[in-house]
Structure 1
Amino acid sequence: MKRRIAALLLALLATQLGSLISPAYACGCGAMVPYGQSRIGVDRETSAVRWDGRTEQIVMRFVVRGDADRAAWIMPVPARATVQLGDGRLFDELAEQTRPQHRTRHYFWPRNKDWPFSSSQGDAVGAAPPTARAPGVGVVGREQLGDFDVARLTATDPDALKNWLESNGFTLPDRLATEVKPYVDQKWEYVAVRLAPREPGKKLSGQLDPLRIGFDSDRLVYPMRLSRMAKTPQSLGLYVLAEHRMEPVSRIGGSAPEVTFAGTVTPAGGRLAELTGGKPVFLTAIDQEFPEPGRIDADHELRATAKDTAYRRTVYHDELLTVGGGVPVWLLTVSAALVLLAVPGVIVIRRRRRRRPRPRQAPTPETA
């Protein structure tokens, strides 16, 4: 009996340990996996997409967490791609362009933080692995970009793609062959990236350097299907730069996309002007959440909306309505109302006093 209990406890312990050290596949717009028994997850993916009707440029940046010092990432692309390092200052410029407008909204009656309810008025990578050949895979380019070892591949067979990646140091899950088959059938190509910081002991954590990927495309597509392999909820932010306001054709298994900005921008300089050629473009900022990544069933395809309606998010700051250097209007109003209510009573009392008869005086002996 004791042996059975011990065996059961060991089995439960092994199950728990297995769940702790299993790889965390997480990434929007591709698949990211750690090496060995380390862990890595993508908390936030932000991308700027420039589409002129013929070519597409994607500058993407990940915020990751975990203890991995190496990881692999793969992204399908519909045509031959170019890859180069991006510049994080681009996202600073986009954030400035899309910042919300702030407005003050006054309220009349006091709230919890106002007197008399409260006395406070304030708001409260190492060297690149050797290249190996595998049947069905073509290597169209390979380069070292900072901490990224980038390989651009073609593949006519999903298993061959998986074998090539693994033979070159990319340890990917068994599901990959099944997940990439639709891309193989459509004759898409791939960007495979090995993330390995050159600084010894450095972990892949926080905000990674952005990558810029370009390819020909007569439709605006943002690859997302491989994100279904993620084990944790995903968050996506898209800055879409095109001739018109753009919208996703469908939710592809996520929450309803939220537009946080829409309007024409004219870059005067900087990284945004470099991406757009300095020409006026319509910028659409979209946020979307994927609470259950396994429900993602397609890539994002975006289309022009019926009208180029401008939109900027508004942040309201509620303040108590005051006059004369901070005197609450409600207090003046209540005081005035009390005075007005008291005036009729005072008048009535005075009138009653005037009408009250004076007491007669008794005659004195001299006048009797």
Structure 2
Amino acid sequence: MKLRHILGGAALGLASLSLSAPAQAFCGFFVAKADTDLFNDASKVALVRDDERTVITMASDYRGEPSEFAMVIPVVDVPEREQINVADPGLIEHLDEYTAPRLVEYHDENPCDVYRYRDAVAMAAPEAGGAIDDMAMEEAEDLGVTIEAEYEVGEYDILILSAEESDGLISWLNQNGYRIPDGAEEVVGSYLKQGMKFFVAKVNLERHDGAGFLRPIQVAYEDEDFMLPIRLGTVNAEGKQELFVFAMTRKGRVETTNYKTVKLPSDMDVPIFVKDEFGEFYKDMFAHQVEKENGKAVFMEYAWDMSWCDPCAAEPLSRSQLRELGVMWLDEDGQQPESRPGFRPGPQPVDVFVTRLHLRYDGKTFPQDLTFQVTGDRDNYQGRYVLRHPWRGDFNECEAARDYADDLVDRWDQEAENLAKLTGWDEAEIKDKMAAGGYSEASINMDLEPKEKKPWWQRLWGNG
């Protein structure tokens, strides 16, 4: 069966979003995610694609009388009964939760503690240089950890580590600020037994710039064209519609070929007050980005290997859930996971890459049906926005604390600028709101004692 003109009729929508429980990640914490219920006339579609095989799962946000609902699915061939199914709405809700844009938060440490640690290292190893000093190298050797390589890439400090035992590796990582959660020994040990190494990264802040749904209908078909008809869906629509596409492949991310695919701006620091206004922030941010692209772009909000997530807005889908969505290649070798060599009880890895696409459309801005291509790009990406809670101790405690206070003002200015660029909100009003919450230069100056002016010669050559 080939699918040509999907989604038309008296009532039609293609998608929606949702929320879930927090999880630790990036040495920070996931605190919120964008909810599709923020949008009216929203639809969700899950697409599973492998060569010419496709399974489409369509969910509508129709809220009227069920008897008045209609979803028109014109097709070239007549589908057999076994090619049509109805799905559990929870499947797409879970996909929605797993892929939703998210908000994470960090808490700054006492800058004086960092300063004292660096002083101690400098006294113990005056000739040490580079990102990893001799003391850390010696500690690593004592714990059976080998630093195979270290790199500076953009705002990240990256290490490649190998180790003899999981306990030693976890101890070294915790001692060096990576905060590995309790109970990770078994998982880390299993990787080490396979001869695997660990890629670890830290953000170097000095380089850092800154319910009323009907059950979804599923159709399985084969077609050399990978496309999603949306034009019929605009016939009876009042205004623009929101469409969320969750595309799953085993090769890599999915992109549109006849419209521009744009990554939603990501990994930007925003003011603390956004935590209480994340829904409003996300709606305005998306609307602003749509406007910047003249309403003619498809936005990528997530692209990730389904085997894991970081930070997790929801747990990855299970193998059984993926099968229900139509992922047909999981057990095509005829073997169930438990019968394979090396099987271990617990969640099993899956070879599924998921891409979340979001567009706002009508017949004028999207006159053509969507056509897609599966790429080999497996680089991970997510819509992610960062809150950084400042340290609120005595800024006069040490010189590093005073310097930190000066840097805070610059950081808050950058957060306000980021938020204005993302959403189109007025930057002056953002700063006023930040100041009301205690995030301003005036709030810093209240806590700082007048700084003693040093003799001019102490300010030469960086001595001051």
TM-score, with structure 1 as normaliser: 0.49
Which structure shows the higher strand fraction? 1
Return the index of the structure with the highest Cα Rg: 1
TM-score, with structure 2 as normaliser: 0.40
Which structure shows the higher helix fraction? 2
